[in-house]
Chains A and B, each alone.
Chain A
Amino acid sequence: MIRGFLFHIGRYTLLLRQVFKKPEKQSIYIRKILVEMDNLGLDSVGIVAFISTFMGAVLCIQMAFNIDTPFIPLYTIGFVTRQSVVLEFSPTIISLILAGKVGSRVASELGTMRVTEQIDAIEIIGINPATYLIFPKIVACVLINPILIILSMIMAILGGWLAGIFTGLVPTSEYVFGIKAFFDSYDIFYALVKTVVNAFLIVSISGYHGFYTQGGALEVGASSTKGVVHSSIAIIVFNLILTQLLLA
């Protein structure tokens, strides 16, 4: 098992070396990055907004029920909702959701290209397939995911506010005060660093599994699953490491 793990780490590292080689023609790559930003990022706006709004609402309601005491001010609901959303929910949980959506897409796309010899065809033409196929996806996700995560933060805070109003648990003035209270811009920096690292992990790990797919349709499915599972595990592990490094 350890041998297998080390084999994959070694091959993943070698693949990354290939991915970051100089692109053949930069204008083509810029166009590809824009296309991937559309495919991998803009396509996810709907699901990110939907999940974030509802999670923000749930966070707000849960907080309201848990601090049902006159000793804790009501604005705490807004404050805790914001902190939960900014520090953990948006950068980590939404990244895990994107690992499922984007990761499976990347792994199955590359896996299908591998088993139908399209990757071989790219290599035969004289193009580095790792750079051509994976590099634009990594750049696209690293650029677009922070925007998605900021959107997620906004939607979650908005969801919490709506929940507070409709349930009557927290008035707007208290919620907004809580949202603004003790704000430290370093929290946003911390969240965006995690987001960028997570975006890199999602695409590179899923891309690795897709790129080295062998066999047919069954193996493409297996690669897709491995891509999602392994990138999710990596996100959780790096979440701990980054939290220790950036907040401790």
Chain B
Amino acid sequence: MIEALNISKAFGEHLVLNDVSFRFETGKCNLIIGQSGSGKTVLMKCLVGLFEIDSGNVMYDERVFSRMSFDEMKVIRQELGMLFQGGALFDSMTVEENIVFPLSMFTSQSSEQKRDRANFCLSRVNLENVNKLYPSELSGGMKKRVAIARAIAMNPKYLFCDEPNSGLDPLTAIVIDNLISEITQEYNITTVINTHDMNSVIEIGDKIAYIHKGKLWWDGNKDSILHSDNPELNDFVFATELTRKLKQI
């Protein structure tokens, strides 16, 4: 479980996050949703320690992450996997090298064991025979899957996904969503997903935080979001003609 407790973050004079508190539960897909510029990416980067928070705390299973030194954070970061928006695969490494990279750095596994682990992770994301390819040779969906495979290589307790569906067609997006959801339940991971894709919200939103103007504006789940009377949330959820028509039905 990850807890954000009264987090505030400003860049210069601009307050991006204002006293945000939320509990991200284990074994569930916890979604952070909001318009572009609402502060959801900043919130995620604060949670993983890429941004230092101005006030508040981030707790990883009762451990105060936000007050740790870089070296102390390293321990928790080895329990953490992250899928970046663009995949963030290392260009100079093959797919297999990308996946075994954390294993090479932090374990004393043999080459054979690491290769087996890479093959297992790739099969888990439904990819085969791509071990020797470079990221530039992969499609957008394949890059995301390899990034997921790398994120789960170290058996993480916490999985962060920053806009996992951006740039993907609707069918591939659903495959990625379902994959994340399956992995979350199978390994009982605390998964935090940053998205503005309403399909993802309806598909896998076990717990949802709606961020608006840097504040936690609403929280609930995929069932309650469709029946909320929060006007700003409704503007966001029912932004398209299609969703407005569906609501009327």
Residues of A within 8 A of B (CB): 24-25, 28, 112-113, 116-118, 120-121, 123-128
- Which residue of B50, B73, B81, B154 has the most chain A CB atoms within 10 A of its CB atom? B50
Interface residues of B in 78-107 (CB under 8 A from A): 78, 80-82, 84-86, 88-91, 101-102, 104-106
| A118→B105 contact, CB < 8 A | no
CB closest residue in chain A, given B79: A126
Residue in A24, A112, A120 whose CB lies within 8 Å of B105 = A24
| A28→B105 contact, CB < 8 A | yes
- B173: interface (CB < 8 Å): no
A26 → chain B closest CB, angstroms: 11
A86 → chain B closest CB, angstroms: 37
> B74 to chain A: which residues have CB within 8 Å?
126
Q: Give the distance in Å from the alpha carbon of A128 to the alpha carbon of B91 in the complex.
A: 19
B30 → chain A closest CB, angstroms: 18
Residue interface bits B105-133, CB-to-A below 8 A is 1, else 0: 11000000000000000000000000000
Q: Can you list 9 A-B contacts (CB < 8 A)?
A: A24-B106, A28-B104, A116-B86, A117-B85, A118-B89, A123-B77, A124-B81, A125-B78, A126-B102
> A123 to chain B: which residues have CB within 8 Å?
50, 77
| A124→B77 contact, CB < 8 A | yes
Closest 7 CB pairs of A and B: A126-B77, A117-B88, A121-B88, A126-B74, A117-B84, A124-B82, A126-B78
CB closest residue in chain A, given B80: A124
Residue interface bits B133-164, CB-to-A below 8 A is 1, else 0: 00000000000000000000010000010000
